[in-house]
Amino acid sequence: MLVSFQIDHPDSLNYRTDSTLPIILESQKRGFKNYVFQPHNVFMNNKGIFAYANQIKFKSQSLNSFIISNEKILNLNNCKFLFIRQDPPFDMTYITSLHLLELLSKKVRIVNDPKGIRNAPEKILMLQFSRIIPPTLITRSLNEIKKFSNKYNSLIIKPLYGNGGESVFLLEKKDKNFNQIVENFLNKSSEPFILQKFIPEVKKGDKRVLIVNGNPVAAVQRIPKNNDIRSNIHVGGTVVKTKLTKNDLKICDAIKEELIKNKLFFVGIDIIGNYLTEINVTSPTCIQEIKKLSKIDVSRKIWDELLV
């Protein structure tokens, strides 16, 4: 059985924290043959959808023991499963690959569904659930930002399509650099950006909850470094063991139907205090951290659920 993965280049993956490698290793344990490729490797012709791909194989149970074979042309319709798991942000190469992968035979199970991913950018899908997210503004208007700031005083401002805690700032009404921070966002990109009311509980970190086939399976608390407002592991955040609370389960239940409808099989959501702050559908992380802290093997749960 063939299983392929559209991912970032394997050389760029951190085997200590990456969440795709455990999924691939678990696939190999079950006897599947695995291939990896990047979005720009996908192409179509009158015979179908293909990718220039490399077989990936682990020599042991260690996640840094993988070897990559020479590149070959892989007919993606021959795959039983195909995972889409490279990091955001979106670009047109990535979007094009999603359109092409959407043309594959229905016999190929794609995790997550290309159309579902395309229609669910991390910080936009959550807007459908206004009752459980912080007060939020998406704009490029300085005037709207000032009105929002007058109402809430302390805000978080960040790119709409960023990831890993990149360019996340605390924006306060009385900050002498208020205009400069906003101007930097305006000059850096032509895209809108997102602002949310600052949630004081962020000082205690955020909770990453992993959801498989609509159901929460595990969680971890990410703690910011020193006085940083960002708890992402990419920027030095640490992780501690945690449990799902009644409020966490209510949030998961509120979004379950939408995830299933859009065929978003493996999802990671972020919760700060009582609020949902992101729904991550492209490449949810923290599989390794959860396994170390809570002994829950999420990669095994993913395959158990897929092979029912």
Q: Residue 287 has what pLDDT?
A: 98
Is 173 a known active-site residue? no
Is 278 a known active-site residue? yes
Give pLDDT tens digits for 236-277: 578 999 999 999 999 999 999 999 999 999 999 999 999 999
Structure-block tokens of residue 249: 């389960």
**Is pLDDT at 209 greater than 60 in this prediction?**
yes
Choose the weakest-confidence range: 78-92, 219-233, 246-260, 285-299: 219-233
Give pLDDT tens digits for 142-158: 999 999 999 998 999 99
Is 270 a known active-site residue? yes
Q: Which of 207, 270, 289, 301 is catalytic?
A: 270
Q: Which of 230, 232, 248, 301 is catalytic?
A: 230
Mean per-residue pLDDT, 123-136: 94
Is 123 a known active-site residue? yes
Structure-block tokens of residue 22: 């455990």
Cβ atoms 66, 5 nearer than 8 A: no
Does domain 2-111 fall under CATH 3.40.50.20? My reply is: yes
Rounded to whole angstroms, the Cα distance separating 194 from 141 reads: 11
Domain 202-306 sits in CATH at 3.30.470.20
Q: Which are the contacts of 118, defined by CB distance < 8 A and separation ≥ 6? A: 95, 98, 99
Structure-block tokens of residue 239: 């992780």
Is the peptide bond between 112 and the residue preceding it cis, with omega within 30 degrees of 0?
A: yes
Domain ranges of the chain: 2-111, 135-198, 202-306
Q: What are phi and psi of 54, to 5 degrees?
A: -125, 135
Is 109 a known active-site residue? no
Q: What are phi and psi of 142, to 5 degrees?
A: -60, -35
Half-sphere exposure of 155 (CA within 13 A, CB side): 28
Q: Which of 85, 158, 207, 301 is catalytic?
A: 158
Q: Which of 34, 213, 280, 301 is catalytic?
A: 280
Q: Which of 26, 113, 248, 278 is catalytic?
A: 278
Q: Looking up tokens 């030095």, which residue turns up?
A: 236
Q: Looking up tokens 């700031």, which residue turns up?
A: 149
> How does residue 123 score in pLDDT terms, banded at 50, 70 and 90?
confident
CATH of 135-198, one of 2.60.40.420, 2.30.110.10, 3.30.1490.20, 3.30.70.980: 3.30.1490.20
Q: Which of 18, 34, 123, 163 is catalytic?
A: 123
Q: Looking up tokens 């993988």, which residue turns up?
A: 66
Mean pLDDT, rounded, of the chain: 93
Q: Which are the contacts of 263, defined by CB distance < 8 A and separation ≥ 6? A: 110, 112, 113, 115, 116
Choose the weakest-confidence range: 93-102, 120-129, 260-269, 270-279: 120-129
Cβ atoms 143, 67 nearer than 8 A: no
Is 230 a known active-site residue? yes
Rounded to whole angstroms, the Cα distance separating 63 from 145 reads: 45
Structure-block tokens of residue 182: 């906003």
**Is pLDDT at 98 greater than 60 in this prediction?**
yes
Q: Residue 162 has what pLDDT?
A: 73
**Is pLDDT at 163 greater than 90 in this prediction?**
no
**Is pLDDT at 231 greater than 70 in this prediction?**
no
Structure-block tokens of residue 21: 């490698």
Cβ atoms 82, 104 nearer than 8 A: yes
Q: Residue 224 has what pLDDT?
A: 83
State if pTM tops 0.75.
yes
Is 29 a known active-site residue? no
Q: Give the 3-state DSSP-derived string for the chain, with helices as H, strands as E and coil as C.
A: CEEEEECCCHHHCCCCCCCHHHHHHHHHHCCCEEEEECHHHEEEECCEEEEEEEEEEECCCCCCCEEECCCEEEEHHHEEEEEECCCCCCCHHHHHHHHHHCCCCCCCEEECCHHHHHCCCCCCHHHHCHHHCCCEEEECCHHHHHHHHHHHCEEEEEECCCCCCCCCEEEECCCCCHHHHHHHHHHHCCCCEEEEECCHHHHHCEEEEEEECCEEEEEEEEECCCCCCCCCHHHCCEEEECCCCHHHHHHHHHHHHHHHHCCCCEEEEEEECCEEEEEECCCCCCHHHHHHHHCCCHHHHHHHHHCC
**Is pLDDT at 234 greater than 60 in this prediction?**
no
Q: Residue 230 has what pLDDT?
A: 56
Largest Cα separation within the chain, whole Å, is 61
Rounded to whole angstroms, the Cα distance separating 76 from 261 reads: 24
Q: Which of 26, 208, 213, 262 is catalytic?
A: 208
